[in-house]
Structures are given as structure tokens and as C-alpha cells.
Amino acid sequence: MKSAYSKDNFDNLLNKFGEVGRVVAVSKSVIQVDGLPTIFPGEILMFENGGLGQVLSVGREKVDVLRYSGQEIPVDLKVARTGAGLEVPVGDGLMGKSIDSLGGSLFKNEPVGQFEEYRSIETTPPGIEERVKIKRPLETGVSVVDLMMPLGMGQRELIIGDRKTGKTSFLLQTILNQAKKGTVCIYAAIGKKKTDILQVEKFLKDNDIRDKTIIVGASSTSPFGVIYAAPYSAMSVAEYFKDRGEDVLIILDDISIHARFYREISLLAKNFPGRNSYPGDIFYTHARLVERAGNFKYKGEDDQKKSISITCLPVAETKEGDISGYIQTNLMSMTDGHIFFDGDLFDEGRRPSVNYSLSVTRVGRQTQSKVRSGISRELSNFLSLYQKTQSFVHFGAELSSGSRATLKMGDKLIDFFNQDSSEILHLNLQIMLFCLIWVGLWNNEAVEDARVEWSKIIKAYKSNEKVRKEFAKYVSEASEFNALLGRVSSEANQILDVINSALEENVTTDRSKQKPIKKQQVVGKSTKEDNK
């Protein structure tokens, strides 16, 4: 926290500005203060007991102050101006730290240290002339997203779904993948339970990426002001690293909680309530935040870099899977698409429970290579066919062999998309594994047996450089999806040879018995043909 905000500085602030205020009324989070004749909205105020607050609105006689500290604020307490808006410390020292919206330690046992630079939490979003088209893909390491709803660096994608449907797990997987690629990752915990924040921190520590991530947040027990400011502070930290030429991924978990707290603050400040009692400026409150993310022109000295990005993944919670709520639709209209986590799919055992037919990505597709866009198109078409075929089964209709093949392949693909919450898959691995499934390598096997084989391939890929190189070669040499598919189809056994030899190498090092992958006859290029 800024040293100017220390209690000992109170008298200096009074002398510096020659103004003093007096608390006249106190509610839970909004305090009315009189005096302070030249105060401006957004200015930070210090109470005589060291507490902090921010000016919400300025009236003729009194100002409404949003409380930032937990201390008791009695009536008649003196108040001093600080002459500045809320600022958050920025610098390399933040890496691996958990800070609150004011720059203090989120967990009191971890000192944050001293910083030389401070940034205002409210900045004007960069204009159109500073932005460039999103061209670079952002890998999440989650196959269903990377293959079906691709994201781009600088995209603002809403993550939406009921509580406990795996949203945070997906976000942590994305952080894990991006942190390993060198992206600065910022997790903004907004009004979350302290145990939830600690769990996120534990995940980051367990995966050795804690020193590449920053947690900016406010727990549900923090003063409302601190919760309200959390996403803005996190965005200012993101902007600092962006201005230094580093790509940033920022997670805002979650904005619907932020909206609820802002609604409470606004009602206490006697602002006129609008739809669902939210204040009239709720859209602006979030839009001015999300607008600060994007893909920007790079102005540094590195000739290789053309653009620099802040990828923003705001989270919104739904009730009973209703994505047409007020805040949810607001957020949809200010982001570049949304990924919907479906509670029903979660209950069916799908992990992640992404509902691809209700999810949208508006700019992610333009970042894809021809191979990936081919896969994405093929998958979308096939899965919609699979869903239709599934609905026939409900009628008890006798199925043709083509329909049965579609269902079998669909089941396999759905199972292929199932992914452990701590597992990330490299894009080349996702593509090659999909191609091997798609050419029908495991058409005659049950899903469970196929899953065992896939695990072996994943293990071989992760542990063996040769496999990684081989897969990368296949993907990079392919001009388009069909070309890759043709090559994989004809060279499937050679690919399996490479994987098996990698697994054998592992046996010698691991001492664990690993059965080689059975060579299969490639049944067909695509089951879509069968269905015709």
C-alpha cells in the first residue's frame, strides 16, 4: 500500500491541502462527509484513524464516500484529502504475490514489499488507433476450447455458467498453459471466499507457476470498496506489464459478484435503481473495464513483435443455466464471445462441461491456421449431426449402420474432450490425437479401451522430445486439414511406431510396464461419409 496512506501522514495531508472533512453519517459501506470544499469525485480520503475511502459522489454540502477499510468509522471523525485517485503499486515485485485492490497484502502474513511506481486504477481505454487486429492464437490447453472455440491473444471472452460447473478449473488450466508460455497471468478474485482464493494459490504453487502469476483480489469479507476496486486494480497491473511489452492474461472471477456489490453500494448511496435494482451506470461500470483489454500496437524495440495484448476472461455466474440475465447479456455484448459451462453436461460427467453449441467466439477463428479451422469446421458439423442422431435414439428408432458409426465416433470425440482439471494438452497433440481418432484408428474399440491408448499417446508426447518433434512436423507441414488427415491416415502405423518406441524408452527409465499401442487398421477417413 502507498506510504502516503499511512495513519501517521494524516496531519501532513491536512496541512498540505488545508481542508478537513467531518463524518456526519455512516452506513455499512457508504459514509457521508461534510467539509472538504474542493474535493473531486474518485479522490481517496483518509480518516483520522487511518481508514481509507473513495469519493463516490459530490453534493452541495456533503460527499458520499465509499469505505475501503474495515476500521470502525464513528460520526464526527476528521477526514483528510489525499489529492489522488486510487493507485495500485506496480512492478516486477508483484510476481508471485497476492495483493488487495489497494496494493496491500491479501493475506496479512505475506509482506508485499516497497514499490517505486504506482498506477491509477482508472484509466481511459486506448482508442482505435492504438489497436490492431487479433491475429495470434491463445492456447488454453483444453482441447474442446482450442479445437472448437478458439481464442486469440487480446480477445475478451466471457466465461459463463452456473456455480460449480468447472469454470475456475478451466481458467486455471488456461493460466497454467499460458504461464508456461511466458504470458503474465493475473487472477482477479472478486468477492470470493478466502478458501477459494487459497485453493487457486495452491494450484499455482503446485504447478510451479506461482512466480509467473499475480493474484489481485478481495475476499467476500473485505470492505465493499475493496471488492468494487479489485478488477480495476488488476487491470491496471495488467496494463503495466502490457506497456512493458509483455502479453498478459487477466481473469476476472467473477463480474456478476462485482455487479451485486456495486448494486448494494449504489443503493446505499441512494442512487436511483434501474432494472433488477442495478444502478443505471452498471453497463458503463463493466464496459470501461473490459474495454481496457485488447490487442495493441507494440511500440517497443523488439522488431519481432508487432502487437501486444491483454487477453481478458471475465467470468459471470448464471442461475439455473439462464444466460439471458441482465448482467450476463450486458457482458456478452461487451465481449468477443462467450464459453458456456452447462450444468446439465457437468452432471452427465463431461469435463469441462462446455456447451459448444451455445458458445461463441467472434475473433478467435481469424487467428487459426488452415488446419485448425478445418478441424473446427469438421467438428462443428459432425457434432451437430451427432446430436441430431442422438435425438433419434430417444425415439427408439432402429439405426442404420451409418448412424451407429456416427454415434460411436461422437461418443469417442466427447470422451476425447474430457480432460482432467490439472491436465493441459499442447495444440499439436490435440490436433494429431483428433486426426488419429478421426481417421478411424479406434473405430472397432470401446471408448474405455480407446481412452487407455490416448493416455499412452499423451504420456509419450509429454515425455519424449522425438514424439513432440514428429507431431509438430506433421502439423506444420500440412497445408490444410484434409491434407493432414490424408497423411495421418496413410502413415498412422509409422506414427504409432514413433509413439511405441517412445513408450519403450520410458519403460527403461520409469521401470513401469507399459503395453505398446496396438496397431489398428484405419477404417475410414471420416464417418461423415458413412452417414451419407
Partner 1 sequence: MNLAKKLRTYDNAVELKYFVEDLKLNLSKDKRKSVKSVLEEESNGMKDLFLDLLNESNISISDSSAVTDFLGDIINKINNFERVNLVVAVDPDEDLIKTVADWIQDKVDKSIILKIDVDPDILGGIKVTYKGKYLDLSLNNKLNGIFKSKDILKI
The reply on whether position 290 binds partner 1 by CB under 8 A is no
Residue closer to partner 1 by CB (options 35, 125) is 35
Residue closer to partner 1 by CB (options 15, 124) is 15
How many residues in the shown chain lie near partner 1 by CB under 8 A?
12
Residue closer to partner 1 by CB (options 21, 51) is 21
Minimum distance from residue 60 beta carbon to partner 1 (Å):
12
Kindly write out the interface string for residues 404-443 of this chain, putting x where it contacts partner 1 by CB under 8 A and - elsewhere: ----------------------------------------
- Categorise residue 74: left if φ over 0, alpha if ψ from -120 to 50, beta otherwise: beta
Q: Is 362 a catalytic residue?
A: yes
The reply on whether position 49 binds partner 1 by CB under 8 A is no
Which residues from 221-280 bind partner 1, rule CB under 8 A?
A: none
The reply on whether position 17 binds partner 1 by CB under 8 A is yes
Q: For cell 490492431, what's the residue? A: 132
Minimum distance from residue 40 beta carbon to partner 1 (Å):
14
Residue closer to partner 1 by CB (options 11, 206) is 11
CA angle 97, 103, 107 (to 5 degrees): 50
* Whole-Å CA distances, 330 to 188, 323, 427: 20, 11, 32
Half-sphere exposure of residue 331: CA atoms within 13 angstroms, side-chain side:
29
4, 20, 447, 458: residue in contact with partner 1 (rule CB under 8 A): 20
The reply on whether position 44 binds partner 1 by CB under 8 A is no
Minimum distance from residue 15 beta carbon to partner 1 (Å):
5
- Categorise residue 191: left if φ over 0, alpha if ψ from -120 to 50, beta otherwise: left
Distance CA 169, CA 350 (A): 13
- CA dihedral 102→105→108→114, nearest 10 degrees, is -110
Number of Cβ within 10 Å of residue 142's Cβ equals 26
- CA dihedral 415→418→419→421, nearest 10 degrees, is -150
Stretch that binds partner 1, among 32-40, 67-75, 218-226, 262-270 (CB under 8 A): 32-40
The reply on whether position 19 binds partner 1 by CB under 8 A is yes
31, 36, 327, 433: residue in contact with partner 1 (rule CB under 8 A): 36
Catalytic residue among 22, 244, 362, 451: 362
| Contact present, 21 and 53 (Cβ < 8 Å) | no
The reply on whether position 15 binds partner 1 by CB under 8 A is yes
Kindly write out the interface string for residues 101-120 of this chain, putting x where it contacts partner 1 by CB under 8 A and - elsewhere: --------------------
Residue closer to partner 1 by CB (options 21, 161) is 21
| 244 CA to centre of own chain | 21
The reply on whether position 383 binds partner 1 by CB under 8 A is no
1, 4, 24, 34: residue in contact with partner 1 (rule CB under 8 A): 34
Give the residue from 290, 249, 315, 317 showing the smallest Cα distance to 126. 290
Distance CA 310, CA 399 (A): 49
Number of Cβ within 10 Å of residue 496's Cβ equals 21
Residue closer to partner 1 by CB (options 61, 302) is 61
Strand 307-317, strand 151-152: pairing: unpaired
* Whole-Å CA distances, 319 to 189, 256, 275, 322: 20, 11, 17, 6
What 3-state class would DSSP assign to 365?
helix
| Contact present, 155 and 311 (Cβ < 8 Å) | yes
Q: How many residues does the chain have?
A: 532
2, 5, 21, 173: residue in contact with partner 1 (rule CB under 8 A): 21
Stretch that binds partner 1, among 17-25, 114-122, 319-327, 447-455 (CB under 8 A): 17-25
14, 360, 383, 472: residue in contact with partner 1 (rule CB under 8 A): 14
Residue closer to partner 1 by CB (options 22, 370) is 22
**Which of the residues are catalytic?**
362
Q: Which residues in this chain contact partner 1 in the complex, by CB under 8 A?
A: 11, 14-15, 17-21, 34-37
